[in-house]
Structure 1
Amino acid sequence: MAMPTPPPQASLTVTLDGLRNDKGVVQLCLTRDTADFLDCEKHDQRVTRELAATAAENVKLTGLAPGEWSLLVLHDENDNGKLDTMLGIPKEGFGFSGNPKIRMGPPKAKQVKFELPAGSSAQRVKLRYLL
């Protein structure tokens, strides 16, 4: 009797560009439901990592299912567990898969989703600081 073939797996290496300093932590949230990618806690199929900013230049995520994903990265400089804002404008760094242009408000889901194939892949995310 043949053993069932395990489902394919993917890994993703995330490289961060433009980290302003090494204070606090960097939070990554990889979600399958790309329509609401900004609210990480809502997603049952999410993969998260929180690392000291000093160790966050390259992050490898393994054991992922191939398919469509979205990535949100936050630089929580004061390590208070949230993205601080002033008048609705982020005071701390943020970035997205696909590095969409930031205009008024966050990018649309279609701008940040990407296809993750089986095997190894990479995403380079540029962190942005508005204040």
Structure 2
Amino acid sequence: MFKKLVFTSAFAISSLAAQAAELTVDIAGITQLEGDIYVVLYDSVSAMESNKATLAYKGAVTKLQTTVTFSDLSAGDYAILAYQDLDNNQKLNRNMIGIPNEPYGFSNNPRLMGPPSFDKLRFAVGDVDHTIQISID
């Protein structure tokens, strides 16, 4: 009987570790009800550097705060870029020196001089659901 109990407990623990989490991203700071909101999720330095999103969301801006949910994420480190595409050209517009001129924000809400790095935007998702807040300006 003891062997069966140990096996059952070990199975329960291993199935908990294999569960995927849900990530909720609350976006605040929207000031204009126009265009689309993009939320781009990266799972590694190389994915971010090559602009290969792990998952992405696009939706019309209909209110000044929005929530996006990514389901079935494996435990690990992630980084997020969120931006409001005011002119619906499907990209984050930049001025002549490369500074974005549409509202944008990142996971961890860092104030950056220059392009973001995965390390500055990194946050961990474990085996339980997780929520982060991003403010776009």
On whether the aligned pair clears a TM of 0.5, the verdict is: yes
- Give the C-alpha shift of residue 36 in structure 1: 4.9
Residues 17, 126 of structure 1: 8 Å contact kept: yes
**1:39 shift after superposition:** 4.6
Give the aligned residue type for 1:102: L
**Unaligned segments of structure 1, at least 5 residues:** none
Map Cα deviations across residues 55-78 of structure 1 (whole Å, 9 max, x no partner). 661111111111111111111011
Counterpart in the other structure of 1:8 = 19
One-letter amino acid of the counterpart of residue 10, structure 1: A
8 Å Cα contact 1:24/1:78 also seen in 2: yes
Alignment pair present for 1:92 and 2:102: yes
Identify which of 18, 31, 35 aligns with 1:20: 31
Alignment of 1:1-131 (within 5 A): 5=15, 7-37=18-48, 39-40=50-51, 42-43=52-53, 46-54=54-62, 57-87=66-96, 88-103=98-113, 105-128=114-137
Q: Where in structure 1 do 4 or more consecutive aligned residues deviate above 6 Å? A: none
Share of identical aligned residues, percent? Answer: 25
SS at match of 1:59: strand
TM-score (normalised: structure 1): 0.82
Aligned residue for 2:119, secondary structure, equals helix
How far 1:38 sits from its partner (Å)? 5.7
Cα distance in 2, alignment partners of residues 114 and 19 from structure 1: 23
Higher helix content, 1 or 2: 2
Alignment gaps of 5+ in structure 2: 1-7
Give, in whole Å, the separation in 2 of the partners of 1:39 and 1:93.
Answer: 22
Tell me the amino acid that sits aligned with residue 48 of structure 1.
A
Number of residue pairs aligned between Structure 1 and Structure 2: 123
Which has the larger Rg? 2
Contact conserved, 1:9 with 1:119, CA < 8 A, in 2?
yes
8 A contact 1:71–1:97 mirrored in 2: yes
- Report the CA distance between 1:81 and its aligned residue: 0.6
Amino acid at match of 2:84: H
Which has more strand, going by share of residues? 1
